[in-house]
Amino acid sequence: MKQTQGNNGNKKFGMVINLDLCTGCGSCMVACMAENNVPFKEDETDKLDSITWMRVYKLKNGKSWPNADICYLPRPCMHCGGHGDHGHSPCVSVCPAVATDYSMATGIVSQIYTRCFGCRYCMAACPYHVRYFNWWDPVWPEGMERFLNPDVSVRMRGVVEKCSFCFHRYQLAMNKAFLEGRRVLEEDEYQSACTQACPAGAITFGDLNNPEHAVHQLVQPDPKHAGRPRNPKAFRLLERLETNPKVYYVSSRKWVRQSGDNYLKKEKQKI
């Protein structure tokens, strides 16, 4: 958190999810789990201790037929920039051992598994419930160890984990670029697993600071307001808390956009 602030050529990787396109198929969840060696339990009925770096919520507009409508909302880690986008994410500022950190170079909130001692303060701080605790040691079905992703370390019991925006892919892409004498990645060189897995093309990933990237064009982030979207159909979850997430949602449906935040009754009436 002591890095220099401001753009300075820094990247700000982010995601835009078009909720009008999302069918709730869950491909993003499956791809995420496979890519990141996310452990699972034999019995996954209790979702309160299941690990889902990417989780798809089902939202309803609360109306009856024929006006009933639903929306599926995929929710990865928001990689919050915190107040004023200074890197003081809700989780980063509370971790007592700097086991989670905010990178000004990429805008990614990291999780250092070997540093985390499992106090779970970050989980208490995160309003999006993107942080998961390893209540058990991971147990893989026989033979599955051979199919784990060698680029992602598996986590042991007693530490917190979360979506990393597939940071290992960024490292691999940067390694390749360095070997080829480049310092800048092309947009398609670093894409998260969920983005590539989405059959509907609902997820777009890229550098929010780069006007040439699709994510920037889709939401038109306002740098004067910590990246708040200028596209009227785009929104971020819990905008009023000033967590400044880097995951944006787009929907043409008003009720979906309103579902992203809390409003007082009188405010709702005005809306």
Partner 1 sequence: MDSALIPQGVNRCPLWKFALGIAIVGAVLMWGVYAMMLVWIKGLNQTNMNDAYGFALWIWADLSVIALGGGAFFTGFLRYVIGINDLKNIINYAVIIGFICYSSAQLILGLDVGQPLRGWFIFWHANVHSMLTEVAFCLTAYFGVLCVEYVPLLLENRQLDRVPFFHNLSHNLHEIMAVFAATGAFLSFFHQGSLGGVSGVLFARPFGFREGVFVWPWTFFLYTWSAAACGPCFTILITKITEKVTKKKLVKDNVIQILAKIAGWMLATYMVAKIIDTIYWATVTAPSKGFDLMTFYSNNPLYGIWILILELVVCGIVPAAILITPKWRGNPRGLTLAMILAVIGVCLNRWVMILQVLAIPVLPFENWALYMPSWQEIATTILPVCYGIILIMISYRYLPVFPQEKELNPIAG
Residues contributing to the site for partner 1 (CB under 8 A): 1, 46, 48-50, 57, 59, 73, 83, 88, 90, 93-99, 115-121, 123-129, 131-137, 156-160, 237-238, 240-243, 259-265, 267
Q: Rounded CA gap, 177 and 159, in Å?
A: 33
For residue 157, what are the contacts with CB-CB under 8 A and spacing of at least 6?
A: 134, 135, 136, 137
Query: What is the closest distance, in whole angstroms, from the C-beta atom of residue 155 to partner 1 in the complex?
Result: 10
Q: Which is nearer to partner 1, 97 or 184 (CB)?
A: 97
Residue carrying structure tokens 């708040």: 228
Query: What is the closest distance, in whole angstroms, from the C-beta atom of residue 47 to partner 1 in the complex?
Result: 9
Q: Which is nearer to partner 1, 84 or 199 (CB)?
A: 84
Q: Helix or strand or coil: residue 2?
A: coil
Q: Rounded CA gap, 159 and 139, in Å?
A: 15
Q: Which is nearer to partner 1, 128 or 190 (CB)?
A: 128
Query: What is the closest distance, in whole angstroms, from the C-beta atom of residue 131 to partner 1 in the complex?
Result: 7
CB distance 74 to 89 below 8 Å: no
Residue carrying structure tokens 């949602």: 249
Query: What is the closest distance, in whole angstroms, from the C-beta atom of residue 146 to partner 1 in the complex?
Result: 26
Q: Which is nearer to partner 1, 15 or 95 (CB)?
A: 95
Residue carrying structure tokens 């590539």: 196
Query: What is the closest distance, in whole angstroms, from the C-beta atom of residue 48 to partner 1 in the complex?
Result: 4
φ and ψ at 109, to 5 degrees? -90, 115
Q: Which is nearer to partner 1, 124 or 184 (CB)?
A: 124
Q: Rounded CA gap, 171 and 169, in Å?
A: 5
